C-alpha cells in the first residue's frame, strides 16, 4: 500500500525549484534595471548650436567651426557631449523660426540660440527681431531643452536709435523667459583683424577658439545643472 507522504519529497523539490527560479529571475530583473539606469545616466548629452554663419563655420574647415571646437573643449573637460551644427549661413531670426521644429527633432538637451546678426546687417526693425526671438525661445522651452541665448549687438552704421532698440533685446528676453544669457557672442573678437577672416565679419579659427573659451564655462554650468 502506497504511503500518503510518498510524493512529499517530489512536491518539496518542485516547490524549491520554482522558488529558486523565481528568485533568479527577480535578481536578473534587478540587474537589468540597474544596468538600464546606469546606461541612461551615462547618455551622451546633445547640444544644438542653432544659428547663422557664425555657428555654421562659414569659411572654415568643419573641424574649426564653433560646434566642433566647442565639443572638443567640453569633452576635454570631461563632458560626454555631441554638439550638433544647426547653423545656416545667411539665416535671419525669421528663417530660424521656419526651420526650428525640424532641428528640434534631434531632441537636444541644450540649445545655444545664436541669431540676429543678419537681421541687424539688413536693417530689419528691432521689433521684428524681438518678436521672432521671443517665438524661438518659447518653442525651445516647450521642447524641454535648456537654453543659452547668445546676444548680438548692432553695428554703429545704423545709427544710435537702431542701437538703442536692438541691443537690449537679448537681455530683456532672457529676463522675461528666465533663460541663461551669453551677452555678446562675438565679444572680444569683433573689429579685431587678427581674429577675423578677410571679410571682417566672420571669425577665423583663432577667433572661434576665443568665442569657445568665453562661452564654454557657461555651457558647462548648464550641463551640470540637474533638471
Catalytic residues: 53, 199, 202
Ramachandran bin of 218, using left for φ above 0, alpha for ψ from -120 to 50, beta for the remaining angles = alpha
Q: How far apart are CA 25 and CA 8, in angstroms?
A: 26
Q: What is the DSSP letter of 51?
A: E
Residue appearing with cell numbers 528676453:
173
SS3 82: strand
Q: How many helices (H) and strands (E) does the chain have?
A: 9, 5
Q: What is the DSSP letter of 34?
A: H
SS3 7: coil
**Cβ(208)–Cβ(66) under 8 Å?**
yes
CB burial of 157-174 (b: ≥16 within 10 Å; e: otherwise) equals eeeeebbebbbebbeebb
**Cβ(97)–Cβ(135) under 8 Å?**
yes
Angle at 162 between CA 193 and CA 150, to 5 degrees: 60
Give the Cβ contact number of residue 52 at 10 Å: 24
Amino acid at each position: 500500500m502506497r504511503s500518503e507522504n510518498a510524493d512529499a519529497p517530489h512536491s518539496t523539490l518542485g516547490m524549491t525549484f520554482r522558488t529558486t527560479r523565481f528568485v533568479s529571475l527577480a535578481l536578473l530583473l534587478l540587474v537589468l534595471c540597474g544596468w538600464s539606469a546606469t546606461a541612461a545616466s551615462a547618455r551622451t548629452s546633445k547640444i544644438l548650436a542653432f544659428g547663422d554663419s557664425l555657428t555654421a563655420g562659414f569659411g572654415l574647415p568643419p573641424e574649426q567651426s564653433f560646434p566642433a571646437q566647442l565639443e572638443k573643449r567640453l569633452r576635454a573637460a570631461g563632458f560626454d557631449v555631441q554638439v550638433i551644427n544647426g547653423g545656416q549661413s545667411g539665416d535671419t531670426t525669421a528663417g530660424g523660426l521656419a526651420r526650428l521644429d525640424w532641428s528640434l527633432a534631434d531632441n537636444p538637451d541644450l540649445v545655444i540660440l545664436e541669431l540676429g546678426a543678419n537681421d541687424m546687417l539688413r536693417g530689419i526693425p528691432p521689433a521684428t527681431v524681438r518678436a521672432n526671438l521671443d517665438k524661438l525661445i518659447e518653442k525651445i522651452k516647450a521642447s524641454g531643452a535648456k537654453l543659452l541665448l547668445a546676444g548680438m549687438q548692432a553695428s554703429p552704421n545704423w545709427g544710435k536709435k537702431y542701437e538703442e532698440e536692438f541691443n537690449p533685446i537679448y537681455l530683456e528676453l532672457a529676463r522675461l523667459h528666465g533663460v541663461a544669457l551669453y551677452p555678446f557672442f562675438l565679444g572680444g573678437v569683433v573689429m579685431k583683424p587678427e581674429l577675423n577672416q578677410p571679410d571682417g565679419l566672420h571669425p577665423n579659427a583663432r577667433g572661434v577658439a576665443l568665442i569657445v573659451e568665453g562661452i564654454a564655462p557657461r555651457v558647462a554650468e548648464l550641463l551640470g545643472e540637474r533638471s
